[in-house]
Structure 1
Amino acid sequence: MARRCGRATSRFTVEIQIYPRRIATFAIWLCFCLLFPSAAEAGLYTASDQVIVLSQENVESVLINSSAAVLVEFYASWCGHCIAFSPVYKSLASDIKEWKPAVDLAAVDCAAEENRKVCTGFGIRAYPTIKFFHAYSKADSTGQAFKASTHDVRVLRHRIIDKLESHEEPWPPACPPLEPTSQAEIDSFFETNSVQHLALIFEDTKSYIGREVTLDLLQYENVAVRRVLSTEEGLVTKLGVTEFPSCYLYSPQGNLTRLKVNIEARTFYSYALQRLPGVVRSGKPLPVTLDILTNSTEEPWRPFNRSGVYMADLESTLHYSLRVEVAAHTLIKGEALTSLKKYISVLTKYFPGRPVVMSLLKSVNSWLQNQTGDEISYEALKEILDNSAQSPDTALPEGERWVGCQGSRPHLRRYPCGMWTLFHALTVQAKNAGGTDPQEVLSAMRNYVHSFFGCRACAEHFEIMATESLVEVNTLSSAVLWLWSRHNRVNNRLAGDLSEDPNFPKIQWPPPEMCPACHTVKENGEHKWSQEQVLLFLLSHFSSSSILTDYLEDESQILAKQREKHVSQQQALEAQKHVERKAREALDSMAHPLPSQPTMQEEEEEEEEEEGPQDEEEDGGEGAAADEMEGKTSETTPWAKPEMEVGRGRRQARRKPSIVGMRMRELQEDIVDLDSFVNQHYKAKALRVKQRTLQRKEEQEPWPVFGLGMELDAGLGMVGLQPMEADFEQDVGRQRKRLQKRELTGQYFVEEAELSHRGRWMSVLSIGFSKVDISLCVILYFLSSMCLLAMYLFFKTRLRLRRAKVALP
């Protein structure tokens, strides 16, 4: 017995080391199932049923020399008995999911053409036929017959245990010890094992509870389970055990504490032991403490009541669903559009939201129902979701604020949890509101998941569940229970998956501590759900009055943020339109220049014209000067305008062109050549000198030189006068080269008395021309006269010659 116990203990020590290899093997099988789905699709089982679908390609790797025992069903998809047995086989696979390191369930469809050779090789002649393959089966093994005449999952589970115990030496390391323990093993247990908890299940000889719980805890670390028979009188008497079955926790110090459960049965033992401190699934990290949670997530951890439903989760789910998931479809049409309309319609009817959210849902629903076309764009839908029309008291909060669905890490729980919570709340609200269509909510959920849910594998699994049994829903109560049962089915399938949060393990919900009345047992001790109590619990748990409003953003803040966003969007839109308009004007002006907007060449020509007539005002412009002194400003010559108009004309000529895209000319200094400078910037001085000259007829002292200052008064926008005697000389010196290039060599004197009688007539004749210009004109006049004289002489001579020829006889 001691040798047997020692061997069993060593088997338990090795089992954790084997588990990673079993995960890799299961992953390979899953890949085969995905790569070769034809048999699965045509058969009665899929990978989501936690049944390995066998084919010609994977049968040897699964059944031959495997570290796990395998129970295989050989069936024909057309067989009526096979079809009737398939739900039982699926239930069995779900029931013993935690046993997978020790035993797996598989199935092969012998009706498929590609599998006929496989079934023939194992001698299958009738359907269904179930065979058991021990671990490390040989290549020539055809398996042992497994009696499956009953549809009782409990009986089938016990027969599997009997097959496991019948394994010959050596004992497979993936299988835990199933034989009863002894006092000697218990006394030395903690010396050879490093687990934190040892659970002792005291039971009768014919009981299977101890072995079932041992296999149920096979995938968990830091806990070990041993069974003690009631016939072990010495140990039973020493520990003072009087009830069978019962479970006790044995500590390294020798203390024995009874495990508290509602009912002394397998399911309650397994659940309680899996929730012990320090007990985690193999390969999973330890649960994260609150301090680490605060630092490891993107936002601060929000303490919450695990038995409550939070409105923050529901609103976050709506935000992600409508603004992220649906937004992935830029164009929504056909079946997707129909699904969206039903989804929004159900939300409008049954979502237990705040007034501002309900007002927005009604707006979206009304807009969708009025769309008569076959498609809509998401941009148009987004305008309604963002309330661009600014309807009062209408908004859907933006962003995610998870509370009851927050995870210990950013990638865990959150939106999937929120979606399940939303679906549960909708089915319960439909029941409480007295809806007329039992499948209204479930059908809308099904269509939405099929068309929009981002996890496509999850959508396929949900569709399979809906196809199998949704037609059975004929009352609002059955709709609530159908969703609950399918949610637990998904939890069972995903337990131990990488998506499972160690702080929130996938369990059969609600647990006994949340709803004790929901759990009961059959006469044979098998766990049973009390659906009447479950329905009452669901109707209360997800009712609108039970939804918690903690961590919600205030409605006034939501509306204020929405208004700010709307204003910023309008400003951005206006700015964009302004830029586009300027760009269009630039393109149009470059193709067709506008007369009112002179080009660069025209501006240069205007400046040259302004630099033209300058000297006329010294003599011939006396009348204009007199008019200006008398205040007459209308219809004056360009060079006789007041100083302010001249300054304004210079600023307009220097103004930047308003056409976008035109190359800007570099601004010039305010000092120009002497001609225009005297003509434009010294008007007042020249006019005063002329007036004094006419009155006194004698030489006058030169006035102080003033120029037009270029500093603009920021408040008045005026141009002021400032002395320019020293600065003027420096500026004139800097402009010498440019003046020489333009060949402007005339020097002007502003005093009228210094001009001689001859100079006055030359000034009148020049009318603003320089000496070089006058010289060129004289030369041109002389040359033109010579040309005319030459032409006259030429034609006169020709005429004489022709007359002479005519006179000849």
Structure 2
Amino acid sequence: MARSCGRATSRFPLRPREAATLAAWFCVCLLAPRAAEAGLYTSSDQIILLTPENVEAVLVNSTAATVVEFYASWCGHCRMFSPVYRGLAIDIKEWKPAVDLAAIDCAEAVNRKVCIDYGISGYPTIKFFHAYTKADSNGLPFKGFIRDVRGLRHKIIDKLEAHVPWPPACPPLEPTSEAELDSFFETNNVQHLALIFEEASSYIGRELTLDLLQFDNIAVRRVLSTEEGLVTKLGVTEFPSCFLYYPGGNFSRLKVKEEARTFYSYALQRLPGVVRSGKPPPVATDVLSNSTEDPWRPFNSSRVYMLDLESTLHYSLRVEVAAHTIIRGETLISLKKYVAVLAKFFPGRPVVMNLLKSLSSWLQNQSGDEISYEAFKEIVDNSAQSPDMALPEGERWVGCQGSQPQFRRFPCGLWTLFHVLTVQAKKVGSSDPQEVLTAMRNYVHSFFGCRPCAEHFENMASEGLAMMNTSSLAVLWLWAKHNHVNNRLAGALTEDPNFPKIQWPSPEMCPSCHAVQENGDHRWSQETVLPFLMSYFSSDSILTDYLEDESQILTKQREKHASQRALEAQKHVERKTREASDFMMHPPAKPTVQEEEEEEEEGEEPLDEAVTDEEEEGAEGAAAADEIGSKTSEPSPWAKPEMGRRQQQAHQKPSIVGMRMRDTQEDIVDLDSFVNQHYKAKALLLAASSRVKQRTLQRKVEQEPRPVFGLGMELDGGLGMVGLQPMESDFDLDGGQKRKWQQKRELTGQYFGEESRHKGDWMSMLSVGFSKADISLCVILYFLSFMCLLAMYLFYKNRFRLRRSKTSLP
């Protein structure tokens, strides 16, 4: 391995400047271990990551030509070259599906056999694989290693032109002639034909042909300066230059700021009728109001709107954060930093800023390791009704509105918010240049709903963010990464056809931001881009169109909280009403003196009243049962709320009294007019006035005046009892009689007359909670079981006798 690295690195002796760059890259990798663990490239780089599982599918018999970098992640030169290769992926993104870019880390143990099979002996090595490459082909290496994007781009074009057979997805790259143009529109169905007049050594025409590969209704052809007929006909005097050619021989010159590839490409992609392949055409402005949830709001595309920023805050704090019921640990730290940055740098209105500062202060005062979103939301919604504090609810987009509800909106608003925060941090002179970027990174990592998007953003943030040591670099870093995302998402399903992803700002918006290098390639003039960003995202430039007045926002907030309090009060009354109705339908039994004493001694809730055998069989119990018919009384459940609650809990528990259990009652109380009365005394009086018809198990001749009983039909899982409970509320008993009556009413088998008491003493002892019908059924079952056993005994006895007699025969 060391020898291989030596061969790889000895090709490029380090210069002092390169050594310094290499050291800087090592620092970056140490600060970003996640990227190093995944190799030098990730899926966010628009580079196909080769593995033993997919290498054949990508390289063998593919319809696209493929450029592959074989590298080792520990190789210093590979690390230095990786930004160039990423830049190449961005530069030729539009060349797909004619050309793909791939890479494989030969330092990974699982990939070593692949690298050996393709004859890799040093790193980095770049090879070109033609379309329809055979399985035994090792590819064509790039001789004379190129270290810049332009050189690699030209090398790929050279390989394409020597390609045999021609890749099916690649357009023609050879120069055109006047004879071909005369019949061009007869064989090609396009609206525009762009002619690039250039010298024979120029690559602009071929690059533009590939740049427009993914667009319909336009074609590009190169015309050499030696084609005198066309040069004279169109009056071409400058090389390079671009002319639009139409049927009938009509033509016009394409006006651009600089005669360079990037300016040509941008202008041609925005010609009328030119759309990306597979994408719908832009929607007319007068139809947009019918395809979105909100009415279309005309806006100035060169300005930022405060309504977009407030809508972003609403969605961020009330929707994204709400996905976390409990916010704890690193997520809580991310939320604190995010809200702190908002409170510090957001250029909002006074009511919004007051709320953000209050929210930030509340979060910083939370000393625990977790908070609930409900508590967080109370502060966001200003439930305490602090004066002059509010965050408008709802989403109403202006500059970030899309032609369809699924386009732009919150992602656009979030990018705009982050740009505004970085610019404001620079304007106020933040002491920490990474404060906003770190808070933004943590928020996306913890809360952003699109998890693949969050992963891509983390991949970008791990590359170079730690080296942003000034506020200006922070502003430019976020702008550059935003353009990187625009390049990656251009042509994706998420792209709005009315707002295509471009490298921003466009030449129309900021002409001085674009410049041309000596070799003709495009470059950004960062000394102009920074002032443009500072002006575009400045708080002084933010438009307040379509905003509601602050007084209206506060009024809506008060009305919302008033309606919420009224709803909560109504729910509270309904809950109390249900509790009262349940209380009347299942009245608790008053505990005995013995149980109260046991409760005080043991600290436990009293069980149902116990009845001793002496009371059950004695005359005192019979006298108490006789007196029930003349004197009845029920204690008010509201007299002692705590005792009533304990009694209700005790009533719900089964009690074991001589192996018996008392059923819960299913009394029926007429509550039709219950909810319309006062919820305490009057309601209970009205409910108490409804009596349940007397039901008894006695014959009519045995019925005597006695309290009204409700027949509880709930069957216990273990004993299956039927219990009778008094339902009258007007019994007037003194203390002793009441206690004796309550002791008797707890028995599951009630006494219904003197005859049943005298004749059923022994039956009561055997019944153990069973009714007469149950006992009768048991007797019948026992009798049938006995008869079956007797029949089996006689059968086997007779069978045995017959067998014995057979064996005794000679």
Q: Is 1:583 aligned to residue 608 of structure 2?
A: no
State the match for 2:385 in structure 1. Answer: 390
What per-residue deviation string (whole Å, max 9, x for no partner) do you get for residues 422-446 of structure 1? 0000000111111111000001101
Letter in 1 for 2:45: D
Residue type at the aligned position of 1:159: K
Greater radius of gyration (CA):
1
* Match of residue 560 from structure 2: 565
Residue in structure 1 matching 2:197, options 167, 187, 202 = 202
Aligned amino acid, residue 277 of structure 1? P
Question: Aligned partners of 1:304 and 1:39: how far apart in 2?
Answer: 40
Contact persistence 1:130–1:148 (CA under 8 A): no
**Contact 2:35/2:462 (<8 A) preserved:** no
Residue 486 (structure 1) shift: 0.4
- The verdict on how the C-alpha distance between 1:400 and 1:594 changes in structure 2, with shifts beyond 3 A counting, is farther
**8 Å CA contact 1:42, 1:77 repeated in 2:** no
- Structure 2 partner of 1:665: 690
Q: Report the Cα distance in structure 2 between the residues aligned to 1:500 and 1:210, rounded to whole angstroms.
A: 27
Distance in 2, matches of 1:403 and 1:426, equals 19
Aligned match of 2:240: 245
Asked whether the 8 Å contact 2:328–2:369 carries over to 1, the reply is yes
1:69 aligns with 2:65: yes
C-alpha distance 39-261 of structure 1, shift in aligned 2 (>3 A): closer
Q: Which moved more, 1:277-286 or 1:246-255?
A: 246-255
Contact 1:586-1:660 at 8 Å conserved across structures? no
Give 1:108's aligned residue. Answer: 104
Amino acid at match of 1:258: R
- 2:474 is the alignment partner of 1:449: no
Q: List gaps (5 residues or longer) in structure 1.
A: 1-37, 596-601, 608-651, 669-809
Number of the residue aligned with 1:418: 413
- Structure 2 residue 466 is matched with structure 1 residue 483: no
- Could you say which residue in structure 2 is the equivalent of 1:543? 538
1:152 shift after superposition: 1.2
Q: TM-score, normalised by structure 2?
A: 0.69
Equivalent-residue separation in structure 2 for 1:407 and 1:417 (angstroms): 10
SS of 2:207's partner is: helix
Alpha-carbon distance in structure 2 between the residues aligned to 1:433 and 1:657? 67
**Matched residues in 1 for 2:392 and 2:35: separation?**
47
Name 1:355's counterpart in structure 2.
350
Which string of whole-angstrom CA distances, capped at 9 and with x for unpartnered residues, describes residues 35-89 of structure 1? xxx9995321111111111111111111111111101111111111111111111
- 1:160 and 2:156 equivalent? yes
Match of 2:87 in 1: 91
Give runs of aligned pairs for residues 156-555 of structure 1, distance below 5 A.
156-168=152-164, 170-555=165-550
Q: Deviations over 1:387-435 (max 9, x none)?
A: 1111111110000000000001000100000000000000001111111
Q: Counterparts of 1:660 and 1:98 in 2: how far apart (Å)? A: 83
Determine the structure 1 residue equivalent to 2:667.
none
CA separation of 1:157/1:431 partners in 2, compared to 1, >3 Å: closer, same or farther?
A: same
Query: Are the equivalent residues in 1 in contact too, given 2:381–2:390 (CA < 8 A)?
Result: yes
Give the secondary-structure state (helix, strand or coil) at the position aligned to 1:125.
coil
Match in the other structure for 2:794: none
For the Cα contact (< 8 Å) 2:280–2:497, is it kept in 1? Answer: yes
Asked if structure 2 preserves the Cα contact closer than 8 Å seen for 1:200 and 1:250, the reply is yes
The more displaced of 78-87 and 197-206 is: 78-87
1:350–1:429 contact (8 Å) kept in structure 2? yes
Q: Determine helix, strand or coil for the equivalent of 1:202.
A: strand
In the alignment, what sits opposite 1:794? none
| Superposed displacement of residue 273, structure 1 | 0.4
Aligned in 2, Cα 1:592/1:122: closer, same or farther, shift over 3 Å?
A: same
Query: Shift in Å at residue 659 of structure 1?
Result: 3.4
| Local SS of the residue matching 2:423 | helix
Q: 1:605 to 1:235 in 2, by over 3 A?
A: farther
Distance in 2, matches of 1:524 and 1:236, equals 24
Show structure 2 runs of 5+ residues with no match. 1-33, 592-626, 633-676, 694-810
> Matches of 1:659 and 1:126 in 2, distance apart?
93
SS at match of 1:253: helix
- When residues 660 and 351 of structure 1 are mapped into structure 2, their CA distance, relative to the original with a 3 A threshold, is farther
Residues 520 and 527 of structure 1 are in contact (CA less than 8 Å); yes or no, is this contact kept in structure 2?
Answer: yes
The CA deviation string for residues 572-629 of structure 1, in whole angstroms up to 9 with x for no partner, is: 111222223333344455333799xxxxxx999999xxxxxxxxxxxxxxxxxxxxxx
Q: Taking structure 1 as reference, are residues 265 and 338 closer, same or farther at Cα in structure 2, changes over 3 Å only?
A: same
**Contact 1:99/1:216 (8 A) holds in 2:** yes
In the alignment, which of 9, 30, 50 is matched to residue 54 of structure 1?
Answer: 50
Deviations 1:730-757 (A, max 9, x none): xxxxxxxxxxxxxxxxxxxxxxxxxxxx
Aligned partners of 1:326, 1:536: CA distance in 2, in Å? 34
Letter in 2 for 1:67: T
| Contact 2:244/2:254 (8 A) holds in 1 | yes
Match of 1:118 in 2: 114
Amino acid at match of 2:683: S
Distance 1:214 1:664, change over 3 A: farther
Whole-angstrom CA distance in 2 between matches of 1:90 and 1:663: 83
Q: Which amino acid aligns with 1:129?
A: T
What are the Cα deviations for residues 348-381 of structure 1, in whole angstroms up to 9, with x where unaligned?
A: 1110111110111111111111111111111011
Equivalent pair of 2:44/2:459 in contact (CA under 8 Å):
no
2:673 aligns with none
| Distance in 2, Cα, partners of 1:593 & 1:185 | 105
Alignment-derived partner of residue 710 in structure 2: none
Offset at 1:150?
Answer: 2.8
Q: Distance in 2 between matches of 1:257 and 1:381?
A: 62
Task: Report the CA distance between 1:544 and its aligned residue.
Answer: 0.4
Report the counterpart of residue 731 of structure 2 in structure 1. none
- The total of aligned residue pairs comes to 579
One-letter amino acid matched to 2:551? S
Name the aligned partner's letter for residue 359 of structure 1: N
- Letter of the 2:363 partner, please give it: L
Distance in 1 of aligned mates of 2:423 and 2:447? 23
Deviation at 1:295, TM superposition (A): 0.8
DSSP 3-state at the match of 2:464: helix
User: CA shift at 1:335, angstroms?
Assistant: 0.6
Counterpart amino acid of residue 118 in structure 2? F
Cα-to-partner distance string for 1:641-676 (whole Å, 9 max, x where unaligned): xxxxxxxxxxx9xx99723996873899xxxxxxxx
Cα 1:140–1:356, aligned 2, differ >3 Å: closer, same or farther? Answer: same
Report SS of the residue matched to 1:352.
coil
1:136 to 132, 139, 145: 132
Distance 1:126 1:591, change over 3 A: same
Contact map agreement 2:315 2:410 (CA 8 A) in 1: yes
Deviation at 1:201, TM superposition (A): 0.6
- Indicate conservation of the 8 Å contact 1:39/1:109, yes or no: no
In structure 1, what residue type is equivalent to 2:255?
Answer: K
In structure 2, the CA distance between the partners of 1:664 and 1:317, relative to structure 1 (3 Å rule), is: farther
- Structure 1 counterpart of 2:480, one-letter code: S
Kindly provide the CA deviation profile for residues 541-600 of structure 1, in whole angstroms up to 9, marking residues without a partner as x.
0000100111111211111110110001111111222223333344455333799xxxxx
